[in-house]
Structure 1
Amino acid sequence: MTTGITPAASERHPPQSSNPFEDVPIEIRVSVGRAHPSIQELLAFGPESVLELDRKIDDPVELFIGDRIIARGVLEASDDGPAGQLVVRLTEVIRDGAMS
């Protein structure tokens, strides 16, 4: 039996975003620090080598899209993901060149 009632257009098709780029995935790079080995040290690298970074374990990490820093945060172990999964808890977000 048909009732002659059809769903509203918004029920048949979810509303489309006004910006077609909103759903495009991007890559965010998380930087935990930098190292400055010499070429001689670099050539000597092998398994079990240690590379000293310019940061301490509790220092914030930086999040980048391309070469632009977008946020800072701290590394944590995930409560929801697999054991040992890392997450970044944001502590600062950069908008228009300013921290928020």
Structure 2
Amino acid sequence: MDDLTETPPQPRRTASDTPFAHVPIEIIVSVGRARPTVAELLRLDRDAVLTLDRRVEDPVDLYVGDRLIARGELMEMDGENAGQLAVRLTELVDLSGGL
């Protein structure tokens, strides 16, 4: 008869205890897109207005590289950071497949 010892279950790793947890990443916030022709682009001058495909109240998209990770709404910080832009997350993309 073999003596089998049951191995206790290993604790599940969380994102904060991986070796990559403290590696900084760049998140790009996309507020909209413009699609001018090359001729229109060449005519742009200082103070020109480039109309985007979104309205001020529309959600913004957050990307890591070319991968959409979340959506949110732009907001302006108060207090010590008054005037600085920020994003309040309103929707997270399921990243279970990894980045």
TM-score past 0.5 threshold:
yes
Cα distance per residue 1:16-66 (max 9 Å; x no partner): x64110000000000000000000110011111000100011000000000
Instruction: Give the aligned partner of residue 78 of structure 1.
Output: 77
Q: What's the TM-score, normalizing by structure 1?
A: 0.75
Q: Give the conservation status (yes or no) of the 8 Å contact 2:69–2:95.
A: no
Structure 1 stretches of 4+ with a deviation exceeding 3 A read none
1:1-100 correspondence to structure 2 within 5 Å: 18-96=17-95
Residue 80 of structure 1, CA deviation: 3.9
Same amino acid, percent of matched pairs: 56
Structure 1 alignment gaps of length 5 or more: 1-16
Q: Give the conservation status (yes or no) of the 8 Å contact 2:74–2:87.
A: yes
Count of residues paired in the alignment: 81
Say which SS state the counterpart of residue 89 (structure 1) adopts: strand
CA 1:62–1:50 in 2, change beyond 3 Å: closer, same or farther? same
CA 1:82–1:26 in 2, change beyond 3 Å: closer, same or farther? same
Q: Give the conservation status (yes or no) of the 8 Å contact 2:30–2:60.
A: yes
Q: In 1, distance between residues paired with 2:81 and 2:17?
A: 36
Cα distance per residue 1:51-84 (max 9 Å; x no partner): 0100011000000000000000000001244221
Report the residue type matching 1:83 in the other structure. Answer: A
